Amino acid sequence: MEICFILIHVSTLRESEVLNKLSKIPEIIELHACFGKYDIIAKIEAKDFESIGKILLHKIRTIDGILYTSTLPGLKFHWSYKDWNNIKYEIVVWSEEKIWKFVKSANMEWSKRKRLK
């Protein structure tokens, strides 16, 4: 399973409406309202990063009131309270080709949605 954090900027006074809609998405395992540049932080868990991209495009960014998002893929840390100096981690790395393929498909999906409205 992969984890990703989505930073969400919401239209003024629509935070509770958006939080309510986000809370109905089963892949979102945590939601936090916050102050600053972003209004909401969502933690998503899915089988892979491609699935996370689909959740973001089809379930999150389609919610009225969301102005823009930033996506932060999570690292997997393996550690113990007893051994702070020996933290092991895995970094999920996408090739440049895979990133551009994802961006291109995301932009095509976004363009289709804009044309349908």
Nearest by Cα to 19 from 55, 47, 60: 60
Query: What are 15-39's pLDDT values in tens digits?
Result: 999 999 999 999 999 999 998 899 9
Q: Give domain limits for the chain.
A: 2-116
DSSP string, 13-58: T-HHHHHHHHTT-TTEEEEEE--SS-SEEEEEEESSHHHHHHHIII
* Residue 106: both structure tokens together: 């995301």
Q: What share of the chain is helix, strand, coil (3-state, %, to 5)?
A: 35, 30, 35
pLDDT of residue 91: 47
Query: What are 62-93's pLDDT values in tens digits?
Result: 999 999 999 888 766 544 445 555 555 444 55
Amino acid (one-letter) located at 9: H
pLDDT of residue 49: 84
CATH number listed for the domain at residues 2-116: 3.30.70.920
In this prediction the pTM is: 0.66
